[in-house]
Amino acid sequence: MENDLICFCFNYTAEDIRQDYQKNGRSVILEKIQEEKKFGNCQCAVKNPKGR
């Protein structure tokens, strides 16, 4: 489960997010994803099997 992809666009796993939060006290990964979405670099509707 820790290696399950959470973010299909940028290939982040649950373990990546857990380690990111422990290291930074917040989710820097989430901030990166939000920034990429602003530039249209998110393709969740295509890459995520659930379409989100």
- pLDDT at position 45: 78
Tell me the backbone φ, ψ of residue 5, rounded to 5 degrees. Answer: -70, 135
- Residue pLDDT, tens place only, 1-52: 668 888 888 999 999 999 999 999 998 999 999 999 999 988 877 887 776 6
CA diameter of the chain: 31
- Cα gap 29→18, rounded to integer Å: 10
- Cα gap 43→18, rounded to integer Å: 23
Tell me the backbone φ, ψ of residue 7, rounded to 5 degrees. Answer: -115, 105
- pLDDT at position 1: 66
The domain limits of the chain are 5-47
- pLDDT at position 47: 81
